[in-house]
């Protein structure tokens, strides 16, 4: 066999192979991790009942966010889990659009459904400084300040985030859609099942094998790779 490798192409091919194999290994590691954990961390929900305080019938506390790549304003209302204990903030719905729309919540009532209750630390990023409590607008979640804005004097507060949220279209409030709530866990949700990671691993490894085949075929077409005796 005669083999005269092209230096630049060989270096680029080796670098690409290393990257593709590492990507495949990373996806396979995520697959193994999720299979071992049984994806328990991706299903923290339980059936929660919240008695909403309908005496606060004004506008909800609106918090800026992103859902499905779209800017939204999440609307939170006060209530108590099972009607007892401290006041919490319940995500009621959201309004799409970068500019807040002062929509009054209609049909406000108690909530029963799959949700997650937890304490979300106050966000103190740069955008949080742009919040406007007077208009019930927040660029960073701050349960204590939001509850205080509603007339409740608490030093902290929990939030109840449903598994799914209703998003009202700001340009046409008669239309809405329901989507997965990405804020339903403290660390964010990882929606990919283990099998998807395994499929991605096979894709990256397959691309690596294909690259080797292209590399060999190209060298052979250029007469730089010959099998058998010399001619």
Task: Determine the pLDDT at residue 188.
Answer: 63
Task: Determine the pLDDT at residue 134.
Answer: 87
Distance between CA atoms of residues 5 and 12, nearest Å: 12
Find out whether 79 and 52 touch, Cβ atoms under 8 Å.
yes
Q: Could you tell me the residue ranges of all domains in the chain?
A: 2-39+193-226, 46-180
Q: Which residues of the chain have pLDDT under 50?
A: 231
Distance between CA atoms of residues 11 and 116, nearest Å: 51
By the 10 Å C-beta count (0-12 exposed, 13-18 middle, 19+ buried), 17 is classed as: middle
What sign does the dihedral 132-138-142-148 (CA atoms) show? positive
Task: Determine the pLDDT at residue 28.
Answer: 93
DSSP string, the chain: -EE---HHHHHHHHHHHHHHHHHHHHHHHHHHHHHHHTTGGG---EEEEEEE-TT--SPPEEEEEEETTEEEEEEEEEEEETT-SS-EEEEEEEEESSS---PPP-S---EEEEEEEEPPPPP-SGGGGG-BGGGTEESS--HHHHHHHTT---S---EEEESEEEEE-TT-TT-EEEEE-TTSSTT------HHHHHHHHHHHHHHHHHHHHHHHHHHHHTTSEE-SS--
Find out whether 195 and 125 touch, Cβ atoms under 8 Å.
no
Q: How many residues appear in the chain? A: 231
Task: Determine the pLDDT at residue 57.
Answer: 60
Find out whether 204 and 18 touch, Cβ atoms under 8 Å.
no
Summarize pLDDT for 113-156 with one digit per residue, the tens: 999 999 888 876 555 558 888 888 999 899 999 998 888 887 77
Comparing CA positions, the residue from 93, 67, 227 lying closest to residue 168 is: 93
Task: Determine the pLDDT at residue 61.
Answer: 92
Match 């329901």 to its residue by tokens: 178
Task: Determine the pLDDT at residue 189.
Answer: 60
pTM of the model: 0.64
Find out whether 91 and 111 touch, Cβ atoms under 8 Å.
no
93's tokens: 């719905």
């Amino acid at each position: 066999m005669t083999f005269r490798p092209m230096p630049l192409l060989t270096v680029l091919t080796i670098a690409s192979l290393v990257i593709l194999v590492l990507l495949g290994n990373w996806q396979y590691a995520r697959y193994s991790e999720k299979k071992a954990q049984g994806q328990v961390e991706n299903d923290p929900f339980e059936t929660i009942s919240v008695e909403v305080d309908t005496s606060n019938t004004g506008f909800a506390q609106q918090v800026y966010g992103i859902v499905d790549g779209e800017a939204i304003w999440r609307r939170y209302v006060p209530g108590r889990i099972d009607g007892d204990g401290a006041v919490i903030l319940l995500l009621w719905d959201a309004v799409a659009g970068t500019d807040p729309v002062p929509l009054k919540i209609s049909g406000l009532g108690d909530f029963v459904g799959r949700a997650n209750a937890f304490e979300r630390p106050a966000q103190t990023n740069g955008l949080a400084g742009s919040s406007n409590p007077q208009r019930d607008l927040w660029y960073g979640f701050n349960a204590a300040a939001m509850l205080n804005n509603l007339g409740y004097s608490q030093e902290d507060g929990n939030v109840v985030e449903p598994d799914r949220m209703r998003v009202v279209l700001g340009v046409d409030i008669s239309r809405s859609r329901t989507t997965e709530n990405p804020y339903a866990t403290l660390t964010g949700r990882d929606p990919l099942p283990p099998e998807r990671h395994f499929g991605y691993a096979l894709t990256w490894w397959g691309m690596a094998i294909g690259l080797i085949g292209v590399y060999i075929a190209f060298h052979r077409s250029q007469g730089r790779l010959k099998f058998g005796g010399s001619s």
